[in-house]
Amino acid sequence: ALEREALTAGQRESLDLISTRGRELVALIETILDAARVEAGQLSLVKKRTSVAGLVYLATQRARELVGGAGELRIEMAEGMPAVTVDANHVSRAIAVVVAHALRSASGRGVAVRASVAAGGKQVRVEIDHGEAQTDPTELRALFTQQQTSRAKGLTLGLSLARSIVEMHGGSIEVTGATGESTVVSTLLPV
């Protein structure tokens, strides 16, 4: 309702900040609940054939919501992408967390999301290229392998959960790059 009212620039900025923080809080609560379900072995997945384009679109839309639309995001989709059998809700959220982290790390620079076929057609690769961001790949690898989720904070918990969700689908997450180079996070999912 407030969004329809005539607001000053300061009021609009405050409303946008409240809205962004609200979305972040909901995402954090969902992450905490899912992490607890994963740790207890009680996370139920509803796997269905899903187009990779639809999965990437949903993930990037969710990532933009998490960061309030900040940052340039390019999507590159290879032709002839096969469908994957996944829980689209959980996998898109996992990829969204990785994309949101890249957008925050990029500080206004571009982030690319590329989808292609890998492993001779047996896997789909979704790469999140941090571009010129000053992301330390060693530090990022550590965030993905965080095991003690009871002590983890929001982003660490989200990245660790993303890895767990992808692994529950028979996939993996890889971080490549070196300090001073572009860091790329690849999500691999079986076809």
The reported pLDDT for the residue numbered 154 is: 54
Token readout for 2 is 């407030």
Measured between alpha carbons, how far is residue 143 from residues 8, 13, 79, 110, 186 in Å? 40, 31, 32, 22, 14
> Cα(86)–Cα(90) distance, rounded to whole angstroms?
8
| % of the chain exceeding 70 in pLDDT | 87
Note the pTM of the prediction, 2 decimals: 0.81
When mean pLDDT is compared across 6-10, 56-60, 90-94, 121-125, the lowest value belongs to: 6-10
Residues 6+ apart with CB under 8 A from 132: 106, 109, 110, 182
Paired tokens of 186: 């690849």
Residues 25-76: tens digit of each pLDDT: 777 787 778 777 778 788 888 899 999 999 999 999 988 888 876 778 999 9
Q: Which of 116, 65, 67, 59 is nearest to 92 (CA)?
A: 59
Tell me the HSE value of 79 on the side-chain side, using a 13 A CA sphere: 0
Region 74-100: mean pLDDT is 93
Instruction: Compute how many other C-beta atoms are within 10 angstroms of the C-beta atom of residue 131.
Output: 19
